[in-house]
Amino acid sequence: MSVFAHLVERLAELLQPLFHASAAAAAIVLFTALVRLLVHPLSRAAARGQRARAALQPRIAELRGKHARDPERLRKEVLELHAQEKVSPLSGLLPGLLQLPAFFLLYHLFSSSSVGGERNGLLSHALFGAPLGGRWTDALADGGVFGPAGLVYLALFALVAAVAAFTYRRARRTAARTPVAAGAAGGEEQIPGLGAVGKVMPFLSFLTLGTVAVVPLAAALYVVTSTTWSALERAALYPS
């Protein structure tokens, strides 16, 4: 973690002339953007994969009619079709999974009082009075909901709620335009667990509200920035 802490500190030093006391917070936002840029090619590949899966819908519908009485055979045929066309039904999950290490690094870095045997200097940084190592409960105890730190969290909650509502509405519009809702005829529910994932995905952004409330503020900034990026990225890669 000491290498990662040094990276955040260096970014904060570079941004200090522009953001002053909030330079470390700005460094975390910049770091998140860099991570998302690195993952973006995979997101584009996932978008191509989704279009390829959509193109398979007629053929999978035929398989459903042919093997309606044999679910196991249908599941096998669907998987074989995806393999034959080199289309992975799970490709859309990879960009999200690859971001987890960066999130956990930030979480542990701003939850530790020492790094590499030395005092963790990053914990002295704040965003408009809210310590980057603090949590929402700390903000409530120090000034309440409308205190300086509490207002920072209110702004984050408002942003997350807006992004979640935007994502949810787009998902509902997409489902309404799709002849078979949530991939039902796309064979996705024939792959164990994938249909359930598709139904839950539109609500995941709302769960971000809970994440922001319980993790250190630095990790919350990562989550909020990444969630906002995801919403804008999906709007660009998956036009309504």
Mean pLDDT value across residues 217-232: 93
Name the token pair of 74.
Answer: 């249908």
| Dist CA 42 CA 30 (whole Å) | 20
Higher pLDDT, 66 or 204: 66
Name the token pair of 177.
Answer: 């335009």
For the chain, the 3-state helix, strand and coil shares in percent, each to the nearest 5, are 75, 5, 20
pLDDT for position 78: 81
Model confidence at 43: pLDDT above 70: yes
CB burial class (10 A; 0-12, 13-18, 19+) of residue 17? exposed
| Dist CA 235 CA 166 (whole Å) | 10
| Dist CA 30 CA 75 (whole Å) | 43
Q: What is the pLDDT of residues 105-154, one digit of tens each?
A: 889 999 988 887 888 888 899 999 899 999 999 999 998 999 999 999 99
pLDDT for position 187: 40
Question: Alpha-carbon torsion 200, 204, 209, 215, what sign?
Answer: positive
| Dist CA 221 CA 199 (whole Å) | 27
| Dist CA 196 CA 132 (whole Å) | 35
Give the contacts of 58 (CB within 8 A, at least 6 positions apart): none
80 CB neighbour count, 10 Å cutoff: 11
Question: Alpha-carbon torsion 190, 193, 194, 200, what sign?
Answer: positive
